[in-house]
Structure 1
Amino acid sequence: MPAPSPTPTWHLLTGEYPPQRGGVSDYTRMLAQALTRAGQQVHVWAPGDTGAHLDGDVTVHAIPGLLTPLGPARLTRELDRCPGPRRLLLQYVPHAFGMKAMNVPFCAWFATRRQDERWVFFHEIVYPWSPRDRLRHQVLAGTTWVMARLLAQGLDRAFVSIPAWTRHLPANVQPLAEWCPIPSTLPVDPAEAAIQQVRTALGPGPWLGHFGTYAPSITGILEAVLVPLLRAERQRKVLLLGRTSREFAQALVSRHPDLTERVVARGALPGGDVAAHLAAVDLLVQPYPDGVTSRRTTVMAGLSLGCPLVTNTGHHTEPLWRELDAVALVEGTATAPLVQAAERLLSNPTERLQLGERAARAYREHFALERTVERLLRPGPSSREPRS
């Protein structure tokens, strides 16, 4: 009987890792540590200047110039010093790999690294193309399409954060791409004392809440929903969370000075504090121009904490959101239905409580970090021939 094959060592390749900020940074660290808790040996390779060091049980290799055209040569030497077999898991987001999101050399290097298992997690995949775009945006769209095709050559496994990304992969890889939702990158169990402390500091409500990046594509919808909700009842207030929440709050009250005393922003906070603040609000309002999806860590944060939440569908929304009944889901981005859904929940505490309970249950069963680790550790399809 042949001896069992040795377990590959995991090598996570990422464009960002703490102390660098970013969603992929937080996700990669969380995933690496979860894999070590599952008994796996894990290395992380990222840009940086601190060299090799331990982050808990994870070995982090912070390499200067990793994502420059000369970086892959050094990465090859360093990887070859690590005992085999090796499993490379690339956390792919085009803009996280520098070179103005057009790092073709790094993708070409990964495509030729045939001596190792090669897995890619496509958090995002291509820049959207439109014939009306500026030339530089069309060049970016074409280049990111080429990069995705390079990465897909002969992969052992491919994962996508939303099923919609699959259509950008080669036809032979599309049936093999596995949907792997992104879990919350915040603590999922803030202390009750911390939540109560936030509620005391905020004072009476009811409190609406929003957590996000306040991108222009979102803030227009968000403002159009929050303003009528706040004006409908003088006791209502809104808590804005996220790094640029203060800037959005200032812009909001400058346009609506009557709401100045009822808009509170906390700016950048540690993850545990963000979780405690989210858990303290009565209702989260999370609109998205392309619809709620399983790659939105801001909505996952609310689900994981059992927060009642109003959001909307869009062209990227997966059918699962309608099936789970874990959020108050409005069709499309029209603001009037979002306002109506929020009003219904604000007037019905029992319905809010039940919605929060369904949210927490759906998160545990479908989106939690444990589900991600289960997907990665179980056998999956491969798009290339077995090694001899």
Structure 2
Amino acid sequence: MPSSSTAPAWHVLTGEYPPQPGGVSDYTRQVATALVRAGQEVYVWAPGDSGVHVEDGVTVHRVPGLFTPVGLTKLARGLDACAGPRRLLLQYVPHAFGMKAMNVPFCAWFAARRKDERWVFFHEVVYPWSPRAPLRHQVLAGTTRVMLRLVAGAADRVFVSIPTWAEHLPARVRRRAEWRPVPSTLPPEAAEGAVAAVRSALGPGPWLGHFGTYGALTVGPLEAVLVPLLRAGAERKALLLGRGSRAFGEALGARHPELAGRWVTRDSLAPEDVVAHLAACDVLVQPYPDGVSARRTTTMAGLALGRPLVTNTGHLTEPMWRGLGAVELVEGTAPEPLVAATERLLSDVAARTALGERAARVYRERFALERTLEALLRPGVEGTRS
């Protein structure tokens, strides 16, 4: 690691960056621009068509095939051409590095990059292993563990998005890993006029909201909660937000034609429009197959806006959620408790208001972008590499 009294420039390595969609993409831009506002010098290195441009004070380098051997050669030359000292901040997601999530060469390159300070934020860590899984999945599980050890063992500082990820780290690294929840990647406030306009356009409710990407593991639990809630009251409607919402709404209508016209989908909205629609909802319903956790930006978006939100525990849920009082939390993934909890909030305006106020307060205190920036700019945890 370079020794210098000069503050190092930040060089953020990421598999995606806007306009590429994705949670890591949005998070990386959010952190990069926040560092610039704090007076830091920031560069981002991401795959894409070759080019360099400055965006909100961040110098963005696009390198075709960034994590391939050819791309790594270009990356190394580009880094060496920048003045030192340099701090690499790797946004770690195995599948973002290509080679079917088994890019050992890139991880070896990172581990060997001793001339720079190396920090890692682990958004994801390893592919789950099972003795009953197909051989190709077992190979993937083993390879991602090799990659993890290479990167984590070389890192000067390590962050994890949820505490569970730290359990996969080598013991010496685990002791100094820092948990840093992911903040909302949307604006934390909605303009009152914009919210009023959305409510006027939507009409009377109550409106149940859901924000997500409608992946294969989520749509089943969501349907199992939404359908009985909508059937319980003809005046109830659902607002489905996020990429994939239109396709989900069409499939839902095909399976439940009696509920046709009871939901509105908004597939691709600008961030400020998403928050206006979220803020217009009476209750947000966010079931997760692995439980709510501090890496769920869809939950963080609702908390930041002070919306009453119903969600569930799972194997990735941190213990803190049971005591925060920031969400209406039910145990497990069965739909019936989620439906019952949502019914209680729909019938109690005061309870909804109080829950929303606690959500906003907890978000500001624990999860806001300002907390992430504080963590990045303060001295790290003492420890040695494995």
User: Structure 1-normalised TM-score?
Assistant: 0.97
Partner Cα distance (1:315, 1:302) in 2: 22
What is the match of residue 293 of structure 1? 293
State the alpha-carbon separation in 1 of the partners of residues 274 and 340 from structure 2. Answer: 27
CA displacement at 1:9 relative to structure 2: 0.6
Residue number in structure 1 paired with 2:56: 56
What's 2:283 paired with? 283
User: 1:178 is matched with which residue?
Assistant: 178
Letter in 2 for 1:120: V
1:384 CA drift (Å):
3.6
Residue 210 of structure 1: SS of its match in structure 2? strand
Q: Residue 71 of structure 1 aligns with which residue?
A: 71
Give the superposition deviation at 1:69. Answer: 2.2
Does 2:20 correspond to 1:13? Answer: no
Match of 1:339 in 2: 339
Residue in 2 aligned with 1:137?
Answer: 137
User: What letter matches 1:85 in structure 2?
Assistant: P
The answer to whether the 8 A contact 2:88-2:116 is kept is yes
Question: Aligned partners of 1:65, 1:328: CA distance in 2, in Å?
Answer: 44
Partner of 2:227: 227
The offset of 1:154, in angstroms, is: 2.9
Aligned length: 383
- Bigger drift between 178-187 and 210-219 goes to 210-219
RMSD: 1.2
Identity, % of aligned pairs? Answer: 69
* 1:259-315, Cα deviation, whole Å (9 max, x unpaired): 111021111111111111000000000011111000000000100111100000111
Q: Is the 8 A contact 1:253 1:263 kept in 2?
A: no
Indicate the residue corresponding to 1:358 in structure 2. 358
Equivalences for 1:17-36 in 2 at 5 Å? 17-36=17-36
Q: Report 1:1-388 matches (<5 A).
A: 5-384=5-384
SS at match of 2:339: helix
CA distance in 2, matches of 1:271, 1:8: 32
Shift of 1:155: 1.5
Question: CA–CA distance in 2 between the matches of 1:293 and 1:121?
Answer: 16
1:105 Cα deviation (Å)?
1.0
Whole-Å Cα distance in 1 between the matches of residues 62 and 134 of structure 2? 36
Judge conservation of contact 1:121–1:160 (CA < 8 Å) in 2. yes
Determine the C-alpha separation between the residues in 1 that align with 2:237 and 2:69. Answer: 50
* Aligned counterparts of 2:5 and 2:320: Cα–Cα separation in 1: 37
Paired AA for residue 143 in structure 1: T
Partners in 2 of 1:267 and 1:205 — Cα distance? 20
Amino acid at match of 1:113: R
Higher mean displacement: 157-166 or 133-142 = 133-142
Deviation readout 1:107-146 (Å, 9 max, x if unpaired): 1100000111100000011111112222222111111111
Q: Is the 8 A contact 2:93 2:124 kept in 1?
A: yes
Any idea what SS the aligned residue of 2:54 has? strand
For residues 24-53 of structure 1, what are the alpha-carbon distances to aligned partners after superposition, in whole Å with 9 as ceiling and x for unaligned? Answer: 111101100000111111010111124111
Distance across 1 between alignment mates of 2:253 and 2:114: 56
Contact 1:155 1:384 in 2 (8 A): no
Unaligned runs of 5+ residues in structure 2 are none
Q: 2:340, 2:298 → 1: CA distance?
A: 22
SS of residue paired to 1:168 = coil
CA distance in structure 2 between the partners assigned to 1:173 and 1:181 by the alignment? 18
Q: Does structure 2 conserve the Cα–Cα contact (< 8 Å) formed by 1:156 and 1:382?
A: no
